[in-house]
A and B are shown apart, each in its own frame.
Chain A
């Protein structure tokens, strides 16, 4: 297999690209999850706010990634910063939408009995609504992750030295184009699959935890 030959030959270049890719993806998921959670909670609480938030987060997704990164580089300079901001923006829709949906799906009787027993709004959110919404929210984070892992490659267009560079450098080559493209794509796919597996594991662990950890 000449792809793996290519990867082996260029490992000195590809390895740091994998590290950069992982760093960017990790940061973006963490940030987009936090912001998306906040926006989702706000959207679940207020219908007018929800309309605005959903409109904005969906519109962001319609902007082509290289255009968004290019635009953001006007304010954030080149390389990582505009890409991190852009990827965070892309990830907002699935996280926000699922957080809102997960909270809204909680049985109204459960919420009413919680309030009736004297839980404050914050306690209802933290002890009842969010724990019950966790599987749905993590579903949104998984969607965002797969998207971010893939779109991060486009960051190469504004100078990010991640796996996108390997793909980008292949374009215009007279020979070995396919090998070079695959040398970028295969690690990206592996990162995507790995990240998804890890999150699926967390999703399962947290579902278990919701049952037993709260015991005391």
Chain B
């Protein structure tokens, strides 16, 4: 659990973060989102003390971070940045071994850990351990950066716009991979982005900040999209928040209309979201879409089903 208690960061007369109070629970992914320059990076870097707060305290599991040795603290927290910052003179394996080496783990343990992590990120050691960062694609580099941050199995992972410099297709893949990874490793993740869609997709909860590090709203993605608390939030969410919210609701969680008679011509896979379902409804000639799993039709989704499902989960 990470607790921000009235944290302030000033640079001269300008306030980068203004009395931020925030509690991040163990094992949840919290996204800090907001326009450029609103204090996201500053807030993140205050957690591992790359930046020291001017006022207030940040504690991890109720212990003030200032009471830790700063290097011990950082070794216990994974850190991933947009430019990745892999060591160009070291191989993938050496990069991933960085924190275990700093912690003086025995050699065998380091090697086993590196192999485990490279498997986890889908770059098996046999083919990739000896490669240099310059030989990797942008996406591969970012995955190695994540593996390196997970090196000594930290409880907390800090990520600062990690996918910001990646092309949209690879980014989507990396986002999905992070979701998969998180199901396996269950870290407390603090993730910074300026992209609300990324925030809504990845976050268990989203903290929306405005200029000067003012916390505008801290809520689940569903709550945020359905009930923006201020004009700033509404504007930041942009067009069609409810339609975007449909992408968060799996079809499998929706009460379907039973199939009565012939199955509809149009269909959607049961593994999709309500947004996929809506797409199919609009595509269909009669507004009725069959939800299929393999060659079985589980039920029918139409505009009413979608609306009531989105109402209920508000």
Q: Which residues of A contact B (CB under 8 A)?
A: 107, 109-120, 123, 128, 131-132, 210-211, 214-216
Contact = CB atoms under 8 A, between A and B. Distances in A.
A110 B94 contact: no
Nearest to B74: A118
A155 B84 CA distance: 52
Contact of A131 (B76, B84, B89, B107): B89
Given A116-B81, A117-B102, A110 B48 contact: no
Contacts of B91: 211, 215
B77 to A, nearest CB: 8
B49 to A, nearest CB: 10
A116 B148 contact: no
B8 to A, nearest CB: 22
B102 A128 contact: no
A113 B74 contact: no
A111 to B, nearest CB: 8
5 contacts: A116-B48, A117-B74, A117-B148, A118-B73, A131-B89
B79 A132 contact: no
A121 to B, nearest CB: 10
Contact of B79 (A111, A113, A131): A113
A131 to B, nearest CB: 5
Given A119-B98, A211-B132, 11 more contacts: A109-B84, A112-B50, A113-B81, A116-B48, A116-B74, A117-B74, A117-B79, A117-B99, A118-B74, A118-B76, A132-B88
B232 interface: no
A118 B81 CA distance: 15
Contacts of B70: 118
A107 B86 CA distance: 10
B173 to A, nearest CB: 22
Chain A contact residues: over half helix, strand or loop, or mixed?
helix
A112 B90 CA distance: 16
Nearest to A215: B94
B254 to A, nearest CB: 42
Interface of B: 48, 50, 70-76, 79, 81, 83-91, 93-94, 98-99, 102, 107, 132, 145, 148-149, 151, 158
Contacts of A107: 83, 85, 88
Closest 5 CB pairs of A and B: A113-B85, A118-B74, A118-B75, A109-B83, A116-B79
A110 B99 contact: no
Contacts of B145: 113
A114 B85 contact: yes
Contacts of A112: 50, 81, 85
A87 B81 CA distance: 46
B69 to A, nearest CB: 9
Contacts of B72: 118
Given A109-B81, A214-B94, A216-B107, A118 B102 contact: yes
Nearest to B72: A118
B90 to A, nearest CB: 6
B71 A109 contact: no
Nearest to B89: A210
A117 B89 contact: no
Given A115-B50, A116-B74, A118-B75, A214 B90 contact: yes
A200 B68 CA distance: 45
A200 B109 CA distance: 38
A111 B98 CA distance: 13
B89 A211 contact: yes
B89 A132 contact: yes
Contacts of A119: 71, 98, 102
